[in-house]
Amino acid sequence: MRVGVHTSIAGALENSAHRAHQLGCDAFQIFSGNPRGWRTARPAAAACEEFREARAGYGLRPLAIHANYLINLASPEPAIRSPSVKAFLRELERALRLGADFVVLHPGSARNGNRAGARRKFVESLLRAAQGLNLDGLTVLIENTAGQGSVLGSSFEELAAILAGAGRELPVGVCFDTAHCFAAGFPIHTARGLIETVRQLEAAVGLKNVRLVHANDSKAAFGSKIDRHQHIGKGHIGAQGFRRILRHPKLRRIPFICETPIDRPGDDRRNLQMMRKLGW
C-alpha cells in the first residue's frame, strides 16, 4: 500500500517533493499552478528539472496533479467551456514537463440539467484539449463527485460513460474519492455497504481503471451531497470505516492520497500516520 498527501509548491516546485519526503509519503499530489485562477505561468525548464530530480531521489510515486477547480469542460456556455479547454491543455503541458503520472479532473457541471449532453461536451472538450499531445504515460483521471446540484460524476455509471467516450483516444481512468462517495449515498462506512460499493464500482468502471484513491473522511452526513473533507477517522466514515477501506483486498493495491484539512500544524503528518496505522 502506497500512501501520501497533497503538498504545497509554495516557494518552488521542488519544495512539494521535499515536503512529501519529510512527511513520510510514498506518493503525493500537487497543484501545478493557482487552482482558482485562469492565468498560470509556464514553469521554467530548470525548475521542472529540479522538481523531477527531487522526486526521483526520494522515490515518490505516483505523482498526481489536481487540475484547476475553475475548469468545466461540460459547460453548455462557450464563454466557460473555451477557457476551460485552454486551461486544461496547460494542465497537461505542465504535467508532462513535471513527469506526472496522473492529472485528476472533476467532470464538470451540466448546469442546464441535460446530463447526457453535458457528458458528450465533457468528452469532446477533453479530447480537444489533448489533441496533438504525446501523453507519454500520463493518464487523465476523472474524479467521482458528491452529487451536488447538476455536477456530473456522482454515479459510477456516469463515470463509465465518460471513460467509454474518451478512452478510445486518450488514456483515462478514475480517481475514487471516499468523502464524495459517502456524501453521494454509497454506505462505505459499513462493512456490508463497502462490499456492495466496491462490487458496483468494479461492475461499472472496472477496478483496473481505478488508479488513485483520494482518502478523505467526511464532515458532511451520509447522502448529504455536500463535499466537506475531514481528518481521517474524525468524520462520519470513521476510523473503523477507514480500516475496512484500507484493508480491502481490491483497494489496497491502489495508491491512497489524503486531501484532508490542515487546521493545526502537523495535521498532514497525523493523517498520514493514521492511514498507516489503520492500514496495517
Active-site residue, 248 included:
no
Alpha helices per DSSP H over the chain: 13-23, 45-58, 78-98, 115-130, 156-166, 178-183, 191-204, 238-247, 267-279
Active-site residue, 180 included:
yes
Q: Are 44 and 82 in contact (CB under 8 A)?
A: no
From 52, 55, 90, 229, the catalytic residue: 229
The x, y and z cell numbers of residue 180, run together, are 464524495
From 177, 189, 211, 236, the catalytic residue: 177
Active-site residue, 229 included:
yes
Active-site residue, 101 included:
no
Active-site residue, 69 included:
yes
From 106, 119, 189, 244, the catalytic residue: 106
Preceding peptide of 78 cis, ω within 30°: no
Active-site residue, 177 included:
yes
From 21, 227, 236, 268, the catalytic residue: 227
From 42, 69, 253, 276, the catalytic residue: 69
Active-site residue, 106 included:
yes
List of residues 6+ apart from 155 with CB closer than 8 A:
184
Question: DSSP for 80-103?
Answer: HHHHHHHHHHHHHHHHHHHT-SEE
From 14, 91, 101, 143, the catalytic residue: 143
Active-site residue, 19 included:
no
From 19, 55, 66, 94, the catalytic residue: 66
From 214, 231, 236, 244, the catalytic residue: 214
Active-site residue, 36 included:
yes
Residues marked active site are found at: 36, 66, 69, 106, 143, 177, 180, 214, 227, 229, 259
